Structure 1
C-alpha cells in the first residue's frame, strides 16, 4: 500500500480541502488541527497524507524554503513522479516543510499537477502557454483594478471610453446590467448609470439621454430624395394669396391658408408626390413615426431635402395638396374639394398675424372660421387653457418663454381642423381606407374653468386612437376627423395624402389591412417620439432650475394627495409634488423656492415660502 493511502499517523501533515492540517489523533474519525488552532474530526477519505511527520506545529510551514524548482521540472518534464521525489529533487530533502512547499507547486497547476502519489510533470509547451495566459489574466486584473480606481476618483483616461460604453448601454436602457457599476457599488438602473457617466465626464453635465433611451433616432435620415414629376397635372392656385402661419423659427412649414370669395383653401405640402408607398422614404418615415422636436434641435422623420423642396414658402412656387371648402352659417362644411396644386406662399408668424386680424383677408377668414369654431364648442369640444411654454437650448443656455394664447394661433388651429374634417369626409365618401382620429367622450363631461378643474379634466380624456372606422373625436367636438395637415412631420398625415393622391390619379389605393398595418408600426414609433419629447422638455426645465438655484415663483394647487399637494408652476408649465403641513385647497396660490434638483432622477422639489 502506498504511504499516501495509509492511515496518517499522529503529528503527520495532511491536506484538508485546500489547507494544511496536523493529525492530533486517530480513531474511527481522525482529529486534525487547522490553522489558527481550531480542531475538527473528519473521515479518513476527507484528507490526504502529504508527510508522515513528525510535524510539531503548523507554524513550521510559514517559512517556505527556496529550491531548484525549475531544475527539477526540466529534469522530470513529461514524466510522472510523487510528492516525495519532487521534494527531494526541488529542495534536496523530504520534510513536512518541503512536502508542503512541493504541494503548493502542484496546487498551482503550472509545471506540476495531480495527486500526492501521482504527479504529472507538464511539458514545456503547455507550461509556456499557460504561463502566458496567466500573465495576461493577471495583467487584465491589474488593469481592471486600476480602471476602477480611476472611476472612483472620476479621472478616466481617453482609453477608458470604450469600456464606459457598457455603462452607457445601461443608461440608455439597452441592457439591464453593467459589470462596472456593479463593481463600483452602484444600483443597476439607467438613472445611476446616467449619474456615473456624468461624474466621470463621459457625458456632459447637461446630457439629454431620453430620445436615445426610447430608441428614437438622433439624426435625420440620410436617403436620396427623388425629383418632382413636373408633368403631373396640378391646379394653378398661384394667383391666390396664401399664408403659412407658424411660430417664429419654425423650420418645416407644411400648411397655408387662402381665401377665395367664400371659399377657404387649406394648402398642405404635397409630400406624397415624393414619398411613394413602400419606397425607401416611406419605410424610413414609417419607422420613425413623426418628427422629434427637442429643445436642443429637431430630428426629422424625412430627409431635410424633402422639407427644402416641399415646405410651403421655401421655394417661389410650391406643390401642394389643397383642400377647398365653404363654411355655412351653422359652421358646417360644404362643397368639399381636394386638388393637386401649385401655390405661392408667404410665411408669417402668429405675432405678425395677430396685429393684422382686422385686415384683409384675415378679418374674413376670422369671421368664417369662427362659425366652425362655435359648432365645435356646441358639440362639446374641450378648451383647456393650461399653461404652455417653449423650451429652447441656445448657445448652451436654456430659454423658457410662455406660449401666449393668441387668437391667430386658434384661427390656424381651427382651419387645420376644418381641413382634417374635410379630408375625412372626402375619404369616407370615396371609400378610401384611412386612419380616422377618434376619441371617446370623457366622464364626467362638465366644462372646466380654473386650473385645478382643467388639470382634472385633462386626466379624464383617453388618448386619441387611429382607426379605420370613423367615429367621434370628443375633444375636438367633431363627428369625423383625420390628421391631414402635417405630412412633413407625422406619418399618419402622409398616409392620408398617399390615399388621396392614389384616388386623384385613378390608381389603386391601399386597402384597410394595409393601412392599419402601417398605422400600427408608425404609431408605435410616434409614441416613443412623444415620450422622448416630453421627458426631454422636463430634463431641460430641470437644467434651467439647477442653473438658477435662487429661483422663486408661484405654484397653483391643482391636486390633493395624502400628505402632498400637486402643484402646477405656470411660468415653467411644470408639475411638482410638495409636502406641507398646512391645509390647502384647490387653486390656492403658493409662493415657492427651489429646494433641490436631481437631473438623473428627473426630479425637482420646492419649498413653500411664508
Structure 2
C-alpha cells in the first residue's frame, strides 16, 4: 500500500527533488524546511511523502544500522513499499528509517523506483550494476593516476593511447582535449604541442606542421607509363647545361646557346602525364612538391623524375623553347619544339667560376639585356637574406645562400622562357594560367635592406588567372610559369596545353583550366604554409641546440616601440626591445635569450 498522500500533514517527511524536507505549514502553497534551516514554499506536486511523521527536525534523520542486504534477498524481483522496505531493513518505520530506506532506492544498486512504487532488483541485475560500478571506479582511479603522471611529466608506457587525444588537438584535428581541460590548460594546438613535449610523447625536434596543415607526406605511387613514339627535334649535338644547387634531385630545366638563339629546355613531363588519369589528379591535389628540411615529398611518382629529369639519363626528352631577343632585351621570336637533348649537370658554384668562358659569357650577356629591360619596366630586385635549412641524421644545418651571378643568369633565362611561353599561347589562343602581380605604390628601386624589406611587404601576392595581365614584380607585361613541371602543377598544365596544340589535339577549355588551377593553387598554398612553418621550426631547433649562438641583426622597421630586425645568417625576422630609438639599417649584435618551439617564437638580447 502506497504511503503517498496528496496533502501531506504538517511535520511529515517529504522528498523535495533529491533532498529530505519537513512540512512546516499547509496552505495554497506548502511551506517546507530544508537542511540548514532554509524555508521554501512549493506546490503539492513538487514533493513526495516519505513518512507522515511527526518529524520535529531534520537532524533526526541520522544514519541507521540494519540489514539492507537481507531485506533485498527477501524481496528480490518483487514490488514493495517504502514502509515494508524500512521495516525489513531497519526493523521499524520511522522518519529516520524511511529516509534510510529511500537512500537504498536512490542508490539504485538493489532497489529502483519512486517512493510510491519500489522494486527489488533481481540478482542478475544487481551483479551487472555492481560490475559496472566496479569498472567505473577502476576507470576513475586509473584516470586520476594518469593525471598525476601527466602533471609530474612521467607518463607510463600504456598512456600512449590516451595521449593520442592531445596529439589530435596539437595537429589541429580536434578542438578539445579532456586531458588538457582536467590539467587546467587552455585547449590550443600550442599548449597541446607543449604538453606532448613535456611528457616525452614528442621530442622538441618533432615537426608537426605537415600533418597540422594536412598535406600529403607519402610519395605518390601510381605506375608510370612509358614514352610514346613521336617526332622530336634532335638537339643532342647542341651542348645543354642543367644548372642547379648541389644535391638537387629533380633537374627540370637546361640551357643551350645556338648563335643568337637561347634554348630553354624543360623536362617533357606532359609526355608521360596526360590531362586525364590518376597521376594528373594526384598532382593536381598536391599542387607542388613539398620541400622540407627533412627531405622532399614529390608531386609526381619517382618514375617520372627518373625518366624525364634532365641529365639523369644519357638522352632526355624535352619541351624546348627557342628564344631570340634584340639588343634591348625584347623578345623577337618564340618557337616551341619536342626535342631530344643531351644534358650536362652543373652546380651554380661551378658555373659561377666559368662565367668568363663560352657559352656562359654569351648567355650572361643575353640575360643581362633581358634583366635591364625588366628593370626599366619597374621590376624589383630584392637582395634579402636566404638560407638553406637541412636536417640530416637529426642534425640541423643552416647555410646562407650567396647571391651568385650564375643563379641570376638561370633565373633570368627561366623568366624569358615564361614570357615566351605566355606570348606563344596568347598568339595561338591556347588557354593557360597567366601569372600576374599588381604593382605596389610607386617608389624608387630599393637600395638597402630596410627598403627591400618594406618593398616586399608592399607587394601583393602573385596570382594565376585565365587572362593575361602584367606581373609588376618581374617587370613583364605577359608571363606564365612553364619551367618547373616536375615540381609545380601550374607549369605542368601549361605544358599539357602546348603539347596538345603542337599535336593538333583539342586543348582544355579556359573554364577547365581555371577550375584545375584553382584546385591546385589551394593545395599549393597549404604546401607553402607547411614549408614556411617547417623551416621556422627547424631554425628554432637549431637555436635550441646552440643556446650560445650570437650573430648580426639589421633593423629594417619599427613597430610598437620595438625594432623589426632581420638576422641574415638565419634569414629570420624578429622584434627587439631597445633602450633607444633605432635607426633603419642599424646593425646590432644579438644573442639568443629564449626559444619556444611550440609557440614558434624566439627572443634575442642585444649585446653591448
Paired residue secondary structure (1:463): coil
Deviations 1:186-220 (CA, angstroms, capped at 9, x unpaired): 21211111111212222221111222222211121
Q: Secondary structure at the match of 1:340?
A: strand
Number of the residue aligned with 2:225: 226
Q: Work out whether residues 578 and 606 of structure 1, in 8 Å CA contact, stay in contact via their aligned partners in 2.
A: yes
Distance 1:551 1:294 in 2: 23
- The correspondence for 1:452, drawn from 450, 453, 456, is 450
Q: Is the 8 A contact 2:556 2:566 kept in 1?
A: yes
Equivalent residues of 1:255, 1:486 under 8 A apart: yes
Query: What residue number does 1:81 align with?
Result: 80
Aligned CA distance change for structure 1 residues 62 and 392 (closer, same or farther; 3 Å): farther
Conserved? CA contact 1:391–1:540, under 8 Å? yes
Q: Does 1:160 align with 2:159?
A: yes
- Report the counterpart of residue 607 of structure 1 in structure 2: 605
Q: Following superposition of structure 1 onto structure 2, how do residues 205-244 of structure 1 map, counting pairs within 5 Å?
A: 205-229=204-228, 231-244=229-242
Alignment of 1:557-596 (within 5 A): 557-596=555-594
Residue 4 (structure 1) shift: 3.6
Structure 2 distance, partners of 1:227, 1:574, is 45
Counterpart Cα distance in 2 of 1:318 and 1:66:
96
Deviation at 1:61, TM superposition (A): 4.3
Hey, what's the Cα distance between the residues in 1 that align with 2:498 and 2:66?
Answer: 92
- Cα 1:600–1:85, aligned 2, differ >3 Å: closer, same or farther? same
Q: Does 1:91 align with 2:109?
A: no
**503-512 vs 103-112, which deviates more?**
103-112
Calculate the aligned-residue CA RMSD, in Å.
2.1
Deviates more, 1:370-379 or 1:514-523: 370-379
SS at match of 1:335: strand
Give the distance between the partners of 2:557 and 2:274, measured in 1 at CA: 48
What does the per-residue CA deviation read over 1:392-448, in whole Å, with 9 as the maximum and x for residues that have no partner? 112212111111000000000011111111111111111100011111221123211
Q: Of the candidates 300, 304, 307, which is equivalent to residue 306 of structure 1?
A: 304
Q: Deviations over 1:459-483 (max 9, x none)?
A: 1111111112112111111111110
Structure 2 spans left out of the alignment, 5+ residues: none
Question: 1:530 — aligned with what?
Answer: 528
Contact 1:81 1:117 in 2 (8 A): no
Residue in structure 2 matched with residue 255 of structure 1 by the alignment:
253
Q: For the Cα contact (< 8 Å) 2:32–2:42, is it kept in 1?
A: no
Q: CA deviation at 1:20?
A: 3.0
Residue matched to 2:397: 399
Q: Secondary structure at the match of 2:39?
A: strand
8 Å CA contact retained: 2:241, 2:255: yes
CA shift for structure 1 position 245: 0.7
Alignment correspondent of 1:462: 460
Q: For the residues of structure 2 that align with 1:39 and 1:515, how far apart are their CA atoms? A: 76
Aligned partners of 2:26, 2:55: CA distance in 1, in Å? 19
Per mean C-alpha deviation after superposition, the further-off stretch among 51-60 and 312-321 is 51-60
Q: Give the alignment of 1:409-488 within 5 angstroms.
A: 409-488=407-486
Tell me what 2:103 maps to: 104
Shift of 1:491: 0.2
Indicate the residue corresponding to 1:65 in structure 2.
65
| Compared CA separation, residues 43 and 429, structure 1 to 2 (3 A) | closer
Aligned in 2, Cα 1:259/1:62: closer, same or farther, shift over 3 Å?
A: farther
Distance of aligned partners of 1:335 and 1:26 in 2 relative to their CA distance in 1, 3 Å threshold: closer
- Counterpart-to-counterpart distance in 2, 1:605 and 1:310: 46
Pairing partner for 1:328 from 307, 326, 329: 326
2:204–2:597: 8 Å Cα contact kept in structure 1? no
> What CA deviation, in whole Å up to 9, does each residue of 1:538-586 have, x standing for no partner?
1111111122222222211111123112111111111111222312221
CA contact (8 A) 1:269 1:488 kept: yes
Instruction: Say whether the 8 Å CA contact 1:441–1:461 is kept in structure 2.
Output: yes
Conserved 8 A contact 1:218-1:299:
yes
Q: What is the DSSP-based 3-state SS (H/G/I as helix, E as strand, rest coil) of the residue aligned with 2:280?
A: helix
C-alpha separation in 1, matches of 2:64 and 2:450: 81
Is the counterpart of residue 195 in structure 1 residue 194 in structure 2?
yes
CA-CA distance at 1:42 after TM superposition: 3.6
TM-score (norm 2): 0.95
CA deviation vs aligned residue, 1:89-134 (integer Å, no higher than 9, x gap): 2233323333222111111223322222321233444444444444
- The correspondence for 2:539, drawn from 518, 525, 541, is 541
Displacement of 1:41 after TM fit? Answer: 3.8
Whole-Å separation in 2 of the counterparts to 1:283 and 1:342: 27
Task: Kindly state the Cα deviation for residue 2 of structure 1 after the two structures are TM-superposed.
Answer: 5.9
1:139, distance to aligned residue in structure 2 (A) = 3.3
1:116 match: 115
Distance 1:49 1:344 in 2: 100
Q: Report how far residue 458 of structure 1 moved.
A: 0.7
Assess if the C-alpha contact under 8 Å between 1:327 and 1:369 holds in 2: no
SS in 2 for 1:5: coil
> Matched residues in 2 for 1:377 and 1:444: separation?
14
CA drift of 1:268 comes to: 0.7
Q: 2 CA distance for matches of 1:203 and 1:447?
A: 47
Deviations along 1:364-388, one digit per CA (max 9) or x if unpaired, are: 2112222111111111111011111
Match of 2:145 in 1: 146
| Structure 1 Cα separation of the partners of residues 62 and 267 of structure 2 | 87
Counterpart residue number, 1:378? 376
Farther off after superposition, 454-463 or 107-116: 107-116
Q: Does residue 276 of structure 1 match 2:288?
A: no
* Matched position secondary structure for 2:323: strand
TM-superposed CA distance for 1:135, in Å, is: 3.5
Check conservation: 1:557, 1:566, Cα contact below 8 A.
yes
Does the 8 Å CA contact 2:63/2:100 hold for their aligned counterparts? no
**Contact kept? 2:3, 2:50, Cα under 8 Å:** no
Go from structure 1 to structure 2 and tell me whether the alpha carbon gap of 1:66 and 1:257 turns closer, same or farther (over 3 Å shift): farther
Q: In the alignment, what sits opposite 2:509?
A: 511
Seen in structure 2, the aligned counterparts of structure 1 residues 480 and 9 have a Cα distance that, compared at 3 Å, is same
| Counterpart among 546, 549, 560 of residue 551 in structure 1 | 549
How far apart, CA to CA, are the structure 2 residues paired with 1:430 and 1:415? 22
Q: Does 1:172 align with 2:167?
A: no
The CA deviation at 1:52 is 4.1
Find the aligned partners of 2:331 and 2:468 in 1 and give their Cα distance: 17
- Give how far 1:59 is off: 5.1
- Residue pairs, 1:348-363, within 5 angstroms: 348-363=346-361
Is contact 1:269-1:312 (8 Å) kept?
yes
Corresponding residue number in structure 2 for 1:343: 341
SS of the residue aligned with 2:273? coil
Would the aligned equivalents of 1:65 and 1:101 in 2 still touch at CA under 8 Å? Answer: no
Count residues in correspondence: 606
